[in-house]
Amino acid sequence: MQFAITIFISAFLLFQVQPIIARYILPWFGGSPAVWSTCMLFFQVGLLIGYSYAHLISRYLETKKQVIVHFILLCLSLLFLPVTPGDALKPDDVFSPAFDIIFLLLSTVGIPYILVSATGPLLQQWFGQKYQDKSPYRLYSLSNIGSLLGLLTYPFIVEPNLGLNTQTIFWSAGYCVFILTCGWTGVTIYKSVANAPSFSGSEDAVLAEEDEMRLIDPLLWIIFSACGSVLLLAATNFICQDVAVIPFFWILPLSLYLITFIIAFDSPRWYMRWFWLPGLVLIIPVVFSMLEGHYRFIYADLTQQILIYLGGLFLAVMVCHGEMVRLKPPAKHITFFYLMVSTGGAIGGCFVTFIAPRIFSDFWEWPLGLILALLLAGASFIRRPGFDIPEFVLQRLPKPKFPAWIPVAGAVFLLVGGSVYFCMKIPRLTDIFSSGVLENNRNFYGVIRIIESDRGNSLHRYKMYHGQINHGIQLQNPEMMREPTTYFSIHSGIGLAIRRHPKRLNNQGLHMGVIGLGSGTIGVYCNPEDKFVYYEIDPDVERLARRYFTYLNDGGKRIEVVLGDGRIALERELKEQGSRKYDILAVDAFSGDAIPVHLLTREAFELYFKHLKKDGVLAIQVTNMYVDMKPLVYNMAKMFKRDTLFVRESADRSIGVKYSAWVLISNNQKFLQHPRVLAHTDPWPDDISEKEVVWTDDYSNLVELLKD
């Protein structure tokens, strides 16, 4: 019983700390989807270190010494509690975010995490010594149930009810409880191990297979595990880039990933090749069709996207883990098996985080991972043939009149042939992706494309896209190049704020800040006496904006670009040089259509108002396909006792204008009551005050704002 309890608690803590810490540091790195994938890489490497430690001490130390060493290290790790990251760890620049995240995690949660991760395989090894007639692999399935509960309780119980600081304190307290249960288990094994015979593994009880481990098997374990890891991170990045970087969309894919482990390790009867392999073959073309629509900028329903992408992820990872478990070794090699599995996970994480952004122009590791899973299934089929058809079905089927190798060869041919066929589909996707593209850039913050369209006619234009979302258009007709486009037209919220600001009407210079650069379209409003300051976290956005658009260059020295997360930069400026005293501050920092949660909290609004003059205007863009931000911004303004205006602008493709929605917040009555401003405002929806949504740095719940 103590083995099960300790392993369950360790697994629960192991996976609950991941969204806690990632959510804590997400605002420090601009809310990019890559924050989560980098955290996942760290946790996968931490898992590898923990499994390596468990394998080494179980191999080279007697069991009693293992107990002593592990308990001493657990006690020493208490020095790292609580695992709350300090403000001193906030990044100073934007040029090495991945390495900054890894260093931050290592200095806070690293040691406790490694020791928790080592406990699972170590206790399974001890369990195998004490109960040689029972399978320790069942405990791995139990640990994955604990991990799954650790994940699922976060978005539905922990995050809605506990602040971030409280979450880290509670986790640290849970870690102390874990040490006590681990000590309890250690005492039990310490007292009984002297009377236990040497561990032989009882392979008949552990494995249905009779084969010993072969040289090719460790390589296949690593490759299958790496493929599953790549699929997990790639699918998560793809989903988050255009929706929202929040724990809910991290946990959905990771939960499915864990469920595949639970199914695969619980019993051989759950992974049935005749069911899972055809399912994977059938869903890949559906995923590819969805990707084709994505690259054609066809906006699919959010629920449909999630179901298809997560369905493809689940089936592909189920095949990876199911085939991997079919090749698992006798129980005497259990720690080595887990070591290889964690090695594969770390390799997959390294590939997605460091290699894929350098060799792929987009998230191509996502469709390629699906194909690789199919190809690996063919290799595994050769290593260990069979269809896993239930015996009662076989009894009712007519006996085949052909050699047994024929269906096996046919299955391998279909799997390998299917892989080749789907590989031939990749060039079609890349052609659609690159159609009209002048330059493409992928980095830590996402994928940016500069697209040329309508060349040779009056609608000739350059467009900047982040994922599926347009971040700026400039018409190339010389007479139209200075026209404000997309979400910044003359009658948009920001257009009204600039054109009808009392200082502009009195021909005085405007001092304006903008969080989020895009193509720099707002720069068209910059007059000779004005001063505009942009805050942009992605250095490549500024480079592309200056190369393909004229908005920044036309403004010359009157337009300044500050590289770094907008909020962190404003905090630093307030501390070092005081308030910027902006007349207008615009918040338009979106990655794809994802919401930068840390820019919409109470503390963020408080910072904005400190940088605004008393009669200044705060302009928040709330245009979004999936999230209704209006109630949140309305309540934030109400909290700070500011009046609001809601401004919507319709699309007009002929002049490059897109639909936009802005909220203007101010107590400047001259501006708010100006007839030309009121003529373009919309009344607030009648139910706007029904959602009493207020976010803080310690608490936010974006799920409640998702559109129906």
Which domains, from first to last, does the chain contain? 2-384+396-423 (1.20.1250.20), 485-705 (3.40.50.150)
CA–CA distance, 271 with 263 (Å, rounded to integer): 7
CA–CA distance, 269 with 418 (Å, rounded to integer): 26
The predicted structure's pLDDT at residue 16: 93
CA–CA distance, 61 with 65 (Å, rounded to integer): 6
Q: In residues, how long is the chain?
A: 708
Could you tell me the CA-to-CA distances from 395 to 228, 255, 362, 389, 391 in Å, in that order? 35, 37, 50, 10, 6
Query: What are the backbone dihedrals phi and psi of residue 83, each rounded to the nearest 5 degrees, phi first?
Result: -90, 25
Of 607, 608, 610, residue with least CA distance to 620 = 608
Six token digits for residue 344: 């594969």
Contact 663, 637 (CB under 8 A): yes
The three-class DSSP label of residue 694 is: coil
Of 625, 627, 622, residue with least CA distance to 637 = 622
- Helix pair angle (33-60, 63-76), 10° resolution: 140
Using CB atoms within 10 A of its CB, is residue 390 exposed (0-12), middle (13-18) or buried (19+)? Answer: exposed
Amino acid letter, residue 392: F
- Spell out, as residue ranges, where the chain has pLDDT lower than 70: 94, 133, 135-138, 193-213, 242-246, 331, 386-408, 410, 590-595, 708
The predicted structure's pLDDT at residue 202: 41
The predicted structure's pLDDT at residue 207: 40
The predicted structure's pLDDT at residue 406: 66
CA–CA distance, 235 with 365 (Å, rounded to integer): 9
Of 288, 347, 277, residue with least CA distance to 315 = 277
Q: How many CB atoms lie within 10 A of CB 505?
A: 13
Contact 178, 9 (CB under 8 A): yes
Of 120, 139, 104, residue with least CA distance to 58 = 120
CA–CA distance, 580 with 369 (Å, rounded to integer): 48
Task: Report long-range pairs for 214-219 (Cβ below 8 Å, ≥24 apart).
Answer: 216/383, 217/327, 217/329, 217/383, 218/336, 218/340
Task: Report long-range pairs for 683-687 (Cβ below 8 Å, ≥24 apart).
Answer: 683/646, 684/630, 684/634, 684/644, 684/646, 685/630
Tokens 């609608």 belong to 459
The predicted structure's pLDDT at residue 203: 38
- 357-370: burial string, b at 16+ Cβ within 10 Å, e else: beebebbbbbbbbb
Tokens 């200095």 belong to 107
The predicted structure's pLDDT at residue 308: 94
Contact 96, 444 (CB under 8 A): no
- 111-125: burial string, b at 16+ Cβ within 10 Å, e else: bbbbbbbbbbbbbbb
The three-class DSSP label of residue 533 is: strand
The predicted structure's pLDDT at residue 405: 57
The predicted structure's pLDDT at residue 208: 40
Listing DSSP states for 645-690 in one string gives EEEEE--BGGGTB--EEEEEEE--HHHHT-HHHHTTEEPPPTTTTT
- 45-69: burial string, b at 16+ Cβ within 10 Å, e else: bbbbbbbbbbbebbeeeebeebbee
The predicted structure's pLDDT at residue 196: 43
Q: How many CB atoms lie within 10 A of CB 173?
A: 12
Single pTM value for the model: 0.82
